[in-house]
Amino acid sequence: MVMAADRAHGLAFLRKMLVGRGAVDEHWLGLDVLDDGPEAVIVFRWRDDPTTYAIRADLDEPDSWWGDEARATLREDLHTGLLRYASRRIVGSRVELDRSPADRDRYERLHPLG
């Protein structure tokens, strides 16, 4: 369990890394990183799509979201079809994407490369 001070530091770090145009790559527009209990909600837009998307990051597992790993993970997911394969749900005015490996595996089976 992450302590409150560590959570606040983690959220501030994610905001610094991910909010703004180009923080992940040239197609990324990071809008905010929100605190939602044990998770951070990374809110963004991708390419010219006007839709606001969000991905949840578990703050109780900070090793997977600190440093350049966060940017690399998001970049890889987005460039390999996250917006097509992810399960989604509408939350307010944004579309929350589930980065489930099962969704990605199912998509790759249905749409093989090559």
- CA dihedral for 24, 28, 33, 34, sign (positive or negative): negative
Closest CA to 108 of 73, 75, 77, 70: 77
pLDDT in tens, 92-107: 999 999 876 555 555 5
| Separation of alpha carbons 93 and 38, rounded Å | 21
pLDDT tens profile 39-72:
889 999 999 999 999 998 887 775 656 667 778 8
Distance CA(25)–CA(87), nearest Å, equals 23
Query: What's residue 2's pLDDT?
Result: 52
Average pLDDT over residues 25-31: 94
**pTM given for the model:** 0.80
Query: Coil, strand, or helix at residue 35?
Result: strand
Q: Name beta bridge partners: 45.
A: 29
What residues does each domain of the chain span? Answer: 4-110
pLDDT score for 85 = 81
